Amino acid sequence: MRNIDSELIKWAVDKIKNDYAEDVALLIGQKGACKVPTDEQNVAFDFFVPNTNKGYNLAQTFIVEDMGYDLFPMSWERLEGIANLNEKITFAFARGVILYARTKEDEEKFLKLQEKLKSNLKDKEFANIKSLEQIDTAMNIFKTMFFDNDISHVRKSAGGIMKYLSMAIAMFNGTFLSGSYGSAQFVKEVSQMSSKPELFGVICEDIVVEKDIDKIKNSVYKLIDTTRRFFMKNRQTEFKDERNYNYEDLAEWYYEMRYSFRRVEYYCNAKDYMSAYELGCYFQIEFDAIQGEFGLDRMDLLGCFESDNLLNFQNQAKKLEEYILNVLKENNIKLKIYDDLQAFLESNN
């Protein structure tokens, strides 16, 4: 196909200068945007940044010589969101080149946002948090997919899950997906990254070639599971000691939860397994929350629950309480614990 990218860039720049001189801040291009491998991989216009509401009127979609073009707007606010790893089209912004700038200030603002994107990708803790958001999205898609018996819907959901998980892995590696579609391109990109879940590419291929709807669902579950295990493992090894934790807040949490530890002991002794289970679920949510907030080891309570043997469950709750008390002691937190009311009153006069 004859390459007309340079002519279209000239057309777009002239149109901005003639009709939108004060209404469009930037015209951004990208090399190889929306091309197939046999096309010339030149820079083509991709999106523009409006400066006024009128500027949005520059947006156009059209076909020239069998090639589709989409000149679409991206606000400064949306670019800020991309820089903060909140969107899927990171590639369009990261690889964007300025084809036209209304002012030097507009150009510098764009370049600073690109630098912010690079900085956020290099920030392991920040990128990891954003990666986990992508995994949460994938899991939410799976919740609906699991109950769907339309093969088309299931395949669509599976593809979305593969994409979100690939984005999560890319962020973990301090990079982004190219945005290319075809030949499972994002799966290939993940396979070339230095850190990735075991068998990720193999499971993705199993999903694509499978014809049985239940087997597709099972493979998608395995893909999410192996990705989550990868992140849990690396969370423990890479991020645990990078933050300064306020253990006074952990002490405040313990004061409030002491009554719940007493309730676990009571209901276990009473062999009330329904109440014990309910408390266990409540506690597990709390344990999972403070684990990340204070850099604690994994605290598994529900894994020890057996309705016909509550002693192990009760003992595990005590062990976890002792673990938290030891963490507070090791970090020189003096707890406000009083033997009786008189001691409390005397201390607080």
DSSP 129: H
User: Do residue 106 and residue 11 come from a single domain?
Assistant: yes
User: Do residue 117 and residue 16 come from a single domain?
Assistant: yes
User: Do residue 135 and residue 72 come from a single domain?
Assistant: no
Q: How far apart are CA 261 and CA 263, in angstroms?
A: 5
Q: For residue 103, which phi and psi values (nearest 5 degrees)?
A: -140, 165
**CATH value at residue 103:** 3.30.460.10
Per-residue pLDDT tens over the stretch 303-333: 999 999 999 999 999 999 999 999 999 999 9
User: Do residue 253 and residue 227 come from a single domain?
Assistant: no
User: Do residue 16 and residue 110 come from a single domain?
Assistant: yes
User: Do residue 113 and residue 69 come from a single domain?
Assistant: yes
**End-of-domain residue from the set 239, 265, 291:** 239
pLDDT above 90: residue 65: no
Local confidence band at 183 (pLDDT 50, 70, 90 cut-offs): very low
Per-residue pLDDT tens over the stretch 113-166: 999 999 999 999 899 899 999 999 999 999 999 999 999 999 999 999 999 999
Closest CA to 81 of 97, 93, 95: 93
Local confidence band at 178 (pLDDT 50, 70, 90 cut-offs): confident
**End-of-domain residue from the set 185, 204, 239:** 239
**End-of-domain residue from the set 107, 122, 137:** 122
* Mean pLDDT of all residues in 35-46: 73
Q: For residue 183, which phi and psi values (nearest 5 degrees)?
A: 55, 35
Alpha helices in 146-184 (DSSP H): 151-172
Please report the pLDDT score of residue 98 as a whole number: 96
Please report the pLDDT score of residue 30 as a whole number: 86
3-state DSSP assignment of residue 97: strand
Which of the two residues, 344 and 47, has the higher pLDDT score?
47
User: Do residue 56 and residue 118 come from a single domain?
Assistant: yes
pLDDT above 50: residue 273: yes
Residue whose pair of structure tokens reads 């606000």 in the numeric block: 75
User: Do residue 184 and residue 253 come from a single domain?
Assistant: no
User: Do residue 142 and residue 251 come from a single domain?
Assistant: no
Contact criterion met (CB below 8 Å) for 172 and 134: no
Contact criterion met (CB below 8 Å) for 162 and 204: yes
Q: Give the residue numbers spanning the domain of 228.
A: 124-239
User: Do residue 191 and residue 165 come from a single domain?
Assistant: yes
Please report the pLDDT score of residue 34 as a whole number: 60
Contact criterion met (CB below 8 Å) for 36 and 1: no
Domain total of the chain = 3
Q: How far apart are CA 50 and CA 47, in angstroms?
A: 10
User: Do residue 145 and residue 68 come from a single domain?
Assistant: no
Per-residue pLDDT tens over the stretch 224-239: 999 999 998 886 555 5
Percent of the chain with pLDDT over 70: 92
User: Do residue 204 and residue 252 come from a single domain?
Assistant: no
